[in-house]
Structure 1
Amino acid sequence: MNQFGPATHKLIAHALIQHEGNYLLIKRSTIKRGKPNVYPEFFDIPGGGVERFETPREAAVRESLEETGLPVLLDRLLHEDSQLDKAKGIVFTRLVYEAKIVGELTGITLDPEEHTEFRWISHLSDISDEKIVLYLHDLIPEKGHLI
Structure 2
Amino acid sequence: MTKQSSTVQGISTAIIVDGERVLMIRRREREGKLLWAFPGGGIEAGETPEQAAVRETAEEVGLEVKAERVLGERVHPNTGRHMTYVACELISGKAVVGDEEEIAEVAWLTLAEIPDYVPYGLFGPVQAHLDAVLAKSS
Which TM-score bucket, shorter chain as reference?
Answer: 0.7 to 0.9
Q: Which amino acid aligns with 2:90?
A: I
Give the number of the structure whose residues are more often helix, by fraction.
2
User: How far, CA to CA, are the matches of 1:121 and 1:84 in structure 2?
Assistant: 23
TM score, norm. by length of structure 1: 0.69
Name the SS of the counterpart of 2:8 in structure 1: strand
% identical equivalent positions: 28
Q: CA deviation at 1:11?
A: 1.5
Asked if structure 1 preserves the Cα contact closer than 8 Å seen for 2:27 and 2:102, the reply is: yes
Report Cα offsets for 1:64-86 as digits up to 9, x if no partner: 0111000100101112102599x
1:118 aligns with 2:84: no
Deviates more, 1:14-23 or 1:109-118: 109-118
Distance 1:84 1:108, change over 3 A: closer
The alignment's TM-score, normalised by the length of structure 2, stands at: 0.73
CA gap of 1:13–1:95, structure 2 versus 1, over 3 A, is same
Partner of 1:53: 46
Distance (Å, rounded) in 2 between the aligned partners of 1:46 and 1:133? 18
- Bigger radius of gyration, 1 or 2? 1
How many pairs were matched up?
124
Q: Does 1:102 align with 2:101?
A: no
Asked whether the 8 Å contact 1:12–1:92 carries over to 2, the reply is yes
Alignment pair present for 1:93 and 2:86: no
Structure 1 residues 146 and 72, CA gap change in structure 2 (3 angstroms): closer
4+ aligned runs moved over 6 Å, structure 1: none
Deviation at 1:127, TM superposition (A): 4.6
- Give unmatched runs, 5+ long, in structure 2: 1-6, 134-138
Structure 1 unmatched runs, 5+:
1-7, 31-36, 86-90
Structure 1 vs Structure 2 CA RMSD: 2.8
